[in-house]
Structure 1
Amino acid sequence: MCVNYRPPTPEQFGTLGAFSDLPADWRWPEETWKDYLAPILRLDADGRPSACLASYGMVPRRQIPPEIKPFDTMNARAESLGERRSFAPAWRRLQLCAVPMAWFYEPCYESGRAVRHAIGMQDESLFYVAGLWRDWPEADGTVTSSFTQITINADEHALMRRMHKPDDEKRSLVILPHDEVNDWLACTDLELARSFLRHYPAENMRDWPAPPVSRKAVETSPNFELF
């Protein structure tokens, strides 16, 4: 499961239409982990693609009651979208989003130990991952947003089946072709939405060993910000 990825920088967003004119005060960390702010794309009230800053993980830790053991919601399994309490309401309401990335990280055990690998596009372009979003009322009267990424089984995917421990089920994020992003966001039918949940061609992707990084290092970066 992907729990860490590299979002585009504000400068890189000039290549993605809805992100071409971001508010000057928007900041996010160089790498995204649970509960970190990151940019997503969703439809606004007028049905137009709109950029939004949201926290990674459908249920932010601050929204989990203290008597409940913390749980993770960074990834939503496609097979159980309509059943999991954390995701089902957003899925049924088709609160779909697209998560922009430069690459994401997974552990590769081909050497016999976990080696952090970055996974991105063969041509080094930015890409979008299919996700869900929801809003949260805050104590101060504001409304914040959160998101999750959708994953599918990757046992047969030539690249993604190489990731994670040998005996683990192989999973992959759902990468959206650029010409399908707007159709995904505007989808109004659950069965049609499921048709987007398929693999991106392995030959158009690449992976490479990435330097390990600690969350502490990310949290001390000048762009770090949480809700």
Structure 2
Amino acid sequence: MCVNYHSPTREQFGTLGAFSELPADWRWPDEVWKDYSAPIIRRGSDGSPSACLASYGMVPRRHIPPGVKPFDTMNARAESLGERRSFAPAWRRLQLCVVPMAWFYEPCYESGRAVRHAIGMHDDSPFMVAGLWREWTETDGGVASSFTQITINADQHPLMARMHKPGDEKRSLVVIGPEELDDWLACRDVETARSFLRHYPAQRMKTWAAPQTVHKAAKAAEASPNLSLF
């Protein structure tokens, strides 16, 4: 499933309709991987969409207890949101967010080998993906946020079914259209929230081969999660 994506530029965020400006001191990389910080949009204290800088992965590596084998929480399966310990509390509390993207990456095996592909909107516009967020108390007493993306089965989706290894279940991120943003963030019961977890039309999306340009940097960050890349 999707484990990295290309974030919109600062200028592109203004086209998403959630807010006009981000804090000037916010920094994030173009390509976002596990434990990297990137902007998300969630419901603010006044009920309107609000931006937050959060780390990718519901359980940051620094919060995995000593002796516990590292595990990944970049994606949350829609079918088990209410059951998985990493996601259930946020889902039941409806800590919903969207993750702004320019495109995301998946492997395609149509050539007989894995080829990294980008998936984005047909008109190249940035878009928003359904997610969950939570907060963590850090060792210095501060509070930091993290997020995950929600995925659904894509065996029947014309575009997303082309991704991943033959024989594997096909999965897809959930695109939240700009006209649905306020309603998604304002959901007050889980069944209403679940009704948003559906496929985006394939004809409004596109995919293209995308060279792997940050593999070494990502591996270095995985080995050293406190490494700063920006």
TM-score class normalised by the smaller sequence: over 0.9
CA contact (8 A) 1:94 1:190 kept: yes
| 1:150 corresponding residue in structure 2 | 150
CA contact (8 A) 1:155 1:170 kept: yes
**Letter of the structure 2 residue corresponding to residue 49 of structure 1:** P
- Give the length in aligned residue pairs: 223
Deviation at 1:105, TM superposition (A): 0.2
CA distance in 2: counterparts of 1:168 and 1:30, whole angstroms: 29
Superposed, 1:109-188 pairs within 5 Å as: 109-188=109-188
SS at match of 2:182: helix
| Residues 59 and 198 of structure 1, relative CA distance in 2, 3 Å threshold | same
| 2:196 corresponding residue in structure 1 | 196
| 1:46 corresponding residue in structure 2 | 46
CA distance in 1: counterparts of 2:182 and 2:205, whole angstroms: 22
What are the ranges of 5 or more consecutive residues in structure 1 without an aligned counterpart? Answer: none
| 2:14 corresponding residue in structure 1 | 14
| 2:224 corresponding residue in structure 1 | none
| 1:5 corresponding residue in structure 2 | 5
SS at match of 2:193: helix
| 1:108 corresponding residue in structure 2 | 108
| 1:67 corresponding residue in structure 2 | 67
CA contact (8 A) 1:108 1:117 kept: yes
**Letter of the structure 1 residue corresponding to residue 156 of structure 2:** E
Deviation at 1:17, TM superposition (A): 3.1
CA contact (8 A) 1:27 1:224 kept: no
Deviation at 1:13, TM superposition (A): 1.4
TM score, norm. by length of structure 2: 0.94
**Letter of the structure 1 residue corresponding to residue 88 of structure 2:** A
Deviation at 1:21, TM superposition (A): 1.2
1:45-67: CA deviation from partner (whole Å, max 9, x where unpaired): 22121000000000000000111
SS at match of 1:203: helix
Deviation at 1:159, TM superposition (A): 0.2
Deviation at 1:182, TM superposition (A): 1.1
Deviation at 1:224, TM superposition (A): 2.8
| 1:205 corresponding residue in structure 2 | 205
**Letter of the structure 1 residue corresponding to residue 43 of structure 2:** L
| 2:91 corresponding residue in structure 1 | 91
CA distance in 2: counterparts of 1:198 and 1:100, whole angstroms: 17
What are the ranges of 5 or more consecutive residues in structure 2 without an aligned counterpart? Answer: 222-227
| 1:33 corresponding residue in structure 2 | 33
| 1:79 corresponding residue in structure 2 | 79
What value does the CA root-mean-square deviation take over the aligned residues?
1.4
**Letter of the structure 1 residue corresponding to residue 31 of structure 2:** E
Whether 1:214 aligns to 2:219 is no
1:64-118: CA deviation from partner (whole Å, max 9, x where unpaired): 0111000000000000000000000000000000100000000000000000000
CA distance in 1: counterparts of 2:186 and 2:40, whole angstroms: 15
